[in-house]
Amino acid sequence: KAGVTQTPRYLIKTRGQQVTLSCSPISGHRSVSWYQQTPGQGLQFLFEYFSETQRNKGNFPGRFSGRQFSNSRSEMNVSTLELGDSALYLCASSLEGLAAPPSYNEQFFGPGTRLTVL
Amino acid sequence: AQSVTQLGSHVSVSEGALVLLRCNYSSSVPPYLFWYVQYPNQGLQLLLKYTSAATLVKGINGFEAEFKKSETSFHLTKPSAHMSDAAEYFCAVRTKAAGNKLTFGGGTRVLVKP
């Protein structure tokens, strides 16, 4: 089974631009979560999508948004990029059932997209 | 609210020596606890998880962790370090109330000396 894939792996943008990152979960996984990893703030939760709906959200400004498609693939978008948005963005998928709250199913992480904002 | 504290941002061990990485958590409800490892330029890989079954949890690559409720700890150990254990390790907590959100500790980078 293929793992979580993220594209692109590396990205360089300039301040003020916007960027879209893509995540393809493991086949059959319906939950996709996004995390930002920086040396200063560590790993921080951005948001989670399940069945095309945002189910949970972290404490990030509205410039950070995401969506999920019917095939569970997810994208996250960052508008009006700032220098501080430079980070490794990690996507994770998990096998969730229909019942809420979610179980403790393992989250499988992709290799990440390294975004550099100049 | 849930939080995780990892004591020591860097740990240096000799090959063959005990690896001990400390993790303390704060949670008002029963937590699910995880240890992840991250190798350079890679994502996170699950080492092991505690889900309220056995308090001593065995994971991959010879790692294990013990859940101690009285100490709110979930320390990670490995009896004998290998060079391949050099990586960054993250402790994480999750609760039903927080959904699928993982809250991570600051990470501990392990250096293994030959």
State yes or no: pLDDT of A100 exceeds 50: no
pLDDT reported for residue B112: 97
Distance CA A109, CA B34 (A): 13
Of the ranges A29-38, A66-75, B93-102, which one carries the lowest mean pLDDT score? B93-102
The length of chain B in residues reads: 114
Helix, coil or strand: residue A85: helix
pLDDT reported for residue A99: 53
Contact A109 B99 (CB under 8 A): no
User: CA of B38 to nearest chain A CA: how many angstroms apart?
Assistant: 10
Q: How confident is the model at residue A104 (pLDDT cuts 50, 70, 90)?
A: low
Task: Among B97, B98, B100, select the one facing A94 at the smallest CB separation.
Answer: B100
- pLDDT means per 10 residues, chain B with 114 residues, are 91 97 88 93 91 87 94 96 97 81 95 96
User: What count of other Cβ atoms lies within 10 Å of the Cβ of residue A60?
Assistant: 16
The answer to whether the CB of A13 falls within 8 A of the CB of A117 is: yes
Phi, psi of B13 (to 5 degrees): -130, 155
Return the structure tokens found at B61.
């690559």
Q: What is the mean pLDDT of residues A47-72?
A: 94
State yes or no: pLDDT of A52 exceeds 80: yes
Task: Among A56, A104, A109, select the one facing B101 at the smallest CB separation.
Answer: A56
Contact A104 B102 (CB under 8 A): no
Share of chain A above pLDDT 70, in %: 92
Taking alpha carbons only, the member of B64, B72, B82 closest to residue B7 is B72
